[in-house]
Structure 1
C-alpha cells in the first residue's frame, strides 16, 4: 500500500469513527462553556475578548474558541459545530501519528501507532467531544517532535522555528502551561544528551533566540493585541486563575496525588500496560529511534509530575500523556510483530485481566441502565434517584460493545501468545477500537439524558422568549447556550435575589435540584411549573 493511499484510508476511517450518528447535547461544564463563549463571539462580533454570559472570561485564551466560532458560522450554533474542531483534530492527529511513526521506523509502525491510539477509551473519546485539550495536545506534541528533530539535526533553523510555531499556538490555546511542559521536557532532554548535541553553546543561544522570537510573534496575535487594547487587567486575572489551579482545588476538583496514574491506567487500556514492554532496551534500534523513545518517556514523566503535583486534578489534564503512552505501546507491539521481540507473559496476563474487567464494566453499565429502577432502591441520594427516572430506552443489545471488547481482548491475546502476532495485534486493537466507538454512541446519549436532559429540554423551550433564565443552587452554563441568551441589557438581571424578589420587567424562569427545592419553594414569590428527573422548574411573573 502506498503512503498516500494509507493516509487517505486513515483520514476516511477517522471521519467515520468520530462522526456522530445522532445529536448529543453538550455536557455541562467543560463542553458548554467553550461553545457558549464561541456563540457569544458571534453575537457580539468581538473576537478578541472571550466572554461568557457577556462578562470577561479569563480562564482560557481564544484559539480553540475561534475554531468553534468559525465552525458555528458555517454550520450553525449547535452541537456538531461545537465538536467539529476536535473531529478535524482527530483526523489530523491520526495522520501525524502515521507520518511521524513512518519517518521514525516504517509505515507499519505508523499504522500500529494509529491503531493503538484509536484502541484506547479516553484518547478516542476526546475527539468526539467539544473540549480544548485535543487541539492543545496536538500542538504540544508537534512542538516536542520538532524539538526532537532539532536536537537530531544539530539545532537546524527549520525545526527550531517549527517547534516555536506550535508552542505559540499552544499558548494561544491553553496558556502558559504549554511553556511549562515544553520547558521542563527540553531541559531534561538537554541535560541527558548535552554530550551528544552537535552544536556549540553559541549556537544553542542563537537557536534559542529564534525559538523565542517565533513564540512571541505567534502569541502576540492575541496576547499582544489584548495588552495594547485593554491593558494588563486580563493578564492579572488570567495569572491569578492559573495560580489558583496550582494551589487549591479549583471548581471542587481536588484529588489525591495518584489520581492521574489511575485515570491513565484505566482510560488508556490496553496501551497503558503494553507500554511497559517498551521500557527495556532493544539493540536493533538506531540512534534516532532510541532518542525519540527517550523523549517520549521524558514527556510522560514531566506531564504526570506536573499534573499530579497541582491541587486541581481533572481527567483531561493528563491527556497529553496519551501520545507517549500509545507510542511506547506501539513500539513494543511493532517489535513483537516485526522484529521477533519476546512477548512478555506478565504483560499478557495483565492486559487480559484489565481488559476483561473493563469489558465486564461496560456490560455492567448496560445492565445498570436497563435496571435503573431497581438500582434506585440502593441509592441514598434523592437527586440521583430522580435522575434514574429519565425516559431512556435500553435493551440487551446494549451488551454488544462489552461483548466485542471481551472477545477481541481474549482472542487477540490468545493469538499473540501463540505466535500469530500479525493477526492477533490488529484483532486486539481494531476490536477494542470498535467496541469503544459503539459504547460511546450507545451509552453517552443515554447518560446525557439521565444526567441533564430534562434541563436542556426546558431551556430549549425558552429559546426566543423575552425572559430571564437562572439556575439556583448549582453552577451551570447550559441555560446560557440552550436558551441562546441575548446580550444583557439590565445588569440587575445578574443578581439572583433581584430576579427572585425585585421589580422585574419580564418573566423569570428558575431551575434548581430537588434536594435544594425547600430553600426556594414557598419562600419566594415563584410558581412551581414542573419537576422532572431531579430538577424543579419555577416561574416568576412581573407585577
Structure 2
C-alpha cells in the first residue's frame, strides 16, 4: 500500500483533527457546570498551593477521582495560565490520543488502511467527540485501554520471549496509567473483555491467564505509590474509594448515578456512535452467515466483539451508571465500522450486505445535506435567536460537503468518501460550537457571576447559590479574592429551604439560577427592601441596609 493511496484519509484526518481538537480552543466558551468547573477549580487550587498529591476543593480533600487528569490540567495551567484554553487542552489532547491509539490498534489487527479509517471514525463519533470538548477524566482513560489491548494482543503473538516480556511490561504500564486515571473501571473493562476473548477464541491456557493477571498486578503495583501516599495523608481513603465507591457502586444503588435501568447504555451507545454505527450491520450479518463456513474463528473479530460485548455487559450489570463510563467501548465500534468500510471497498462483502451498505450511504448523504439547517432552525426556535449569515454560510458549506461525500462514493472513490464524511462531522461540530453551544454554555456557567463579584468593592461575606454549587465561580475570581476565601464563605442551598421568614443577613448575597426559579414554578421571588439584578443565569439579591430584609419566595402551589 503506497503513501499516495492513503493520502485522502491522511488529509481528511488532519482537517478533522484541526477542527475538532484545535478550533474549540480558540472559542470563548465558559467552563460548564458542574464537572468541568469543579475539576478546573481543583486543579487551580492544587497549582496555587503547590499540592501534587491530594486533590482539594475549597481547602477540603476531594476523594472521588484519581490524580492523573488533575496532573495533566495542573501542567497545562502552569504553562498557559488560568484560562479556559489551559483547562480544556488536556481533554482535547487525550481525545486526539484516543483516536490515534484506536488507529494503532486497528492497524495491528487489520493493517494500516483500516488503522487510518479507524482513527477517522473514532474522532468523529458523536459522544467521544462531544466529551472530548469538556474536561472529564474518562476521556483520558480511552488511550490507555486501547494500548492495553494492543499490548496484550501482541504479547500472545510474540515469537520471542524478549519481545513477549516487553509487550507484557507495556500492558502493565498502560494499566498503571489507567488506574491512575479512573481506578478500576478500565481494568475491569479490559479484563472482562480480554478474558472472554481468550475463552471464545479457544486460546485460553494457564500461560495466557497468568500473563493477563501479571499485567493487572503489575499495573496495580506501578499505580500504588500515589494511592499509598493518599492513604497516609487521608486515613481511610482506600476504604472509601475502593470499597464504598467501587464495590458498593457496582453492587448497590447507594452511590450516585445508581438509579438507572439495566438498558441505560444501549441508546447512548447506539446514538453516540453515529453517524458511523449503522455500517457495522452489514459486516455483522456476513460474520453471522459465514460462521459455519469458517475453518477457524477470526480472532480479531472475536476480540472486538468480546471487548465491546463484555464491557457493555459489565457496565450494564453495575448499579452505578453514567455514559462517560462507556467511553472505552467506542474504539471497538470504530474499528468494526472501519473493517466494514474496507471490506466493501475491497468487494469482500456479500451481495446482500453490499446493497445494505450502499443504501446506508445514500440515506446518510441525504440526511447530511439537511442536518446543518435543521440544527440551526431547531436551536433558533428553542433559544429564541436569529443566527448570523456566517452561521448559515457554514451550514450551506457542510451541506455541500455531504453532497460531495455522496458523489465520491458513487464514483467509487471510497477513501475520499470516508475522508469527506469525517470532515462533514467536524464542520457540523464547528457550526454547533460557534453559535448554539455558546448560548447554552453561558446559561450553564458561573463565569458571569464571578465577573460580577470581581467588580464589587469587597468580597461578599457570604454568597449563597441556589440551583448550583460553587465551582468555576472560584476559578474565575481574581487571585487576591481567592486568597480571602474560606470554606464557609460560599455555599449552596435548595430553594425549598427558604421561607418568607428567612432573613438575609448584612453582607450576604443570594444568587438563584433562572432554571431553578422556573422549575420551582415561582410566582413571586423578591426580597423586600433589597437590591436585585440579573447576572448571566443568576438572579442576584443583596440587602438594602436601610430597611429590614426578608426572603419572600411564594410558589403557586403554596398559594
**TM range, smaller chain:** 0.7 to 0.9
Give the superposition deviation at 1:171: 0.9
Structure 1 alignment gaps of length 5 or more: 373-387
Does residue 192 of structure 2 align to residue 192 of structure 1? no
TM-fit CA distance, 1:38 = 0.5
**Of 331, 335, 344, the match for 2:343:** 335
**Inter-partner Cα distance in structure 1 for 2:106 and 2:305:** 16
CA displacement at 1:259 relative to structure 2: 3.5
Please name the residue that 1:233 is paired with. 237
Aligned to 2:417: 424
For 2:97, the equivalent position in structure 1 comes to: 92
Which residue of the partner structure matches residue 127 of structure 1? 132
Structure 1 match to 2:534: 531
1:207 to 192, 208, 211: 211
1:433/1:250 Cα in 2 relative to 1: closer, same or farther (>3 Å)?
Answer: same
Question: What displacement does 1:41 show?
Answer: 0.7
Q: Distance in 2 between matches of 1:287 and 1:432?
A: 40
Deviation per CA, 1:158-184, whole angstroms, max 9, x where unpaired? 222211211111111112112221221
1:94 deviates by 3.8
Deviation at 1:82, TM superposition (A): 0.8
With over 3 angstroms needed to count, the CA separation of the structure-2 counterparts of 1:332 and 1:189, relative to structure 1, is: same
Instruction: Pick from 160, 167, 177 the counterpart of residue 175 of structure 2.
Output: 167
Which residue is 1:222 aligned to? Answer: 226
Q: TM-score, normalised on structure 1?
A: 0.81
TM-superposed deviation, 1:24: 0.7
CA separation of 1:225/1:541 partners in 2, compared to 1, >3 Å: closer, same or farther? Answer: farther
The residue correspondences of 1:298-447 to structure 2 (distance < 5 A) are 298-342=306-350, 344-350=354-360, 352-353=362-363, 356=366, 360=370, 362-372=372-382, 388=383, 394-395=387-388, 397-399=390-392, 403=396, 406-409=399-402, 412-413=405-406, 415-416=408-409, 419-447=412-440
2-side partners of 1:15 and 1:181: how far apart?
A: 30
CA distance in 2, matches of 1:492, 1:193: 58
Over residues 25-84 of structure 1, what are the superposed CA-to-partner deviations in whole Å (9 max), with x where a residue is unaligned? 111112112111111111222221112232222211111011001100111111111111
The one of 116, 120, 124 aligned to 2:121: 116
Flag the 1:22–1:491 CA change in 2: closer, same or farther, 3 A: closer
- Between stretches 47-56 and 86-95, larger displacement belongs to 86-95
User: How far, CA to CA, are the matches of 1:174 and 1:258 in structure 2?
Assistant: 23
* Distance in 1 between residues matched to 2:274 and 2:189, nearest whole Å: 24
Verify the 8 A CA contact 1:181 1:303 in the aligned structure 2: yes
What does the per-residue CA deviation read over 1:358-402, in whole Å, with 9 as the maximum and x for residues that have no partner? Answer: 764542331134344xxxxxxxxxxxxxxx47xx66235434555
CA contact (8 A) 2:531 2:541 kept: yes
Q: CA deviation at 1:119?
A: 3.3
1:463 to 451, 454, 458: 454
* 1:291-346 superposed Cα distances (whole Å, 9 cap, x missing partner): 23221111111232233334444332322222011100001111222354356323
Structure-2 separation of matches of 1:312 and 1:205: 28
**Cα offset for 1:104?**
3.3
2:96 matches 1:102: no
Specify the SS of the correspondent of 1:49: coil
CA distance in 2, matches of 1:312, 1:26: 26
Q: Measure how far apart 1:270 and its partner are.
A: 2.5
- Give the C-alpha shift of residue 534 in structure 1: 5.5
Q: How far, CA to CA, are the matches of 1:221 and 1:8 in structure 2?
A: 40
Structure 2 unaligned runs (5+)?
547-559
Residue 18 of structure 1 corresponds to which residue in structure 2? 21
2:175·2:219 contact (CA, 8 Å) conserved in 1? yes
What are the residue-to-residue correspondences of 1:30-69 with 2, within 5 Å? 30-69=35-74
**Is the 1:49–1:56 Cα contact (8 Å) retained in structure 2?**
yes
Q: Does structure 2 conserve the Cα–Cα contact (< 8 Å) formed by 1:113 and 1:330? A: yes
1:510 paired residue number: 511
Helix, strand or coil at the partner of 1:48:
coil
CA root-mean-square deviation: 3.9
Change beyond 3 A, Cα 1:508–1:294: same
For residues 116 and 306 of structure 2, the distance between their equivalents in structure 1, rounded to whole angstroms, comes to: 24
1:481 matched to 2:481? The reply is no
* TM-score under structure 2 length normalisation: 0.79
Quick one: structure 1 residues 241 and 41, their matched pair in 2 at CA, closer, same or farther if it must change by over 3 Å? same
Change (3 A) 1:393 1:335: same
CA distance in 1 between counterparts of 2:424 and 2:219 reads 41
Task: Give distance in 2, aligned partners of 1:287 and 1:25.
Answer: 57
Give the direction of change, closer, same or farther, for the CA distance of 1:490–1:96 in structure 2 (3 Å limit): closer
Q: For residue 192 of structure 1, report the CA deviation from its aligned partner.
A: 1.8
After alignment, is 439-448 or 414-423 more displaced? 414-423
Q: Does 1:258 align with 2:263?
A: yes
2:530 and 2:542 in contact (8 A); partners too: yes
The alignment partner of 2:541 has SS state of strand
Q: CA deviation at 1:348?
A: 3.7
C-alpha contact (below 8 Å) 2:141/2:182 kept by paired residues = yes
Q: Which residue does the alignment assign to 1:378?
A: none
Distance 1:495 1:364, change over 3 A: closer
Residues 353-362 or 232-241, more deviating:
353-362
Structure 1 position 141 matched with structure 2 position 146: yes
Query: Are 1:448 and 2:441 counterparts?
Result: yes
Q: How many Å separate the matches in 2 of 1:151 and 1:95?
A: 23
Is the alpha carbon distance of 1:432 and 1:88 closer, same or farther for their aligned partners in structure 2, counting shifts above 3 Å? closer
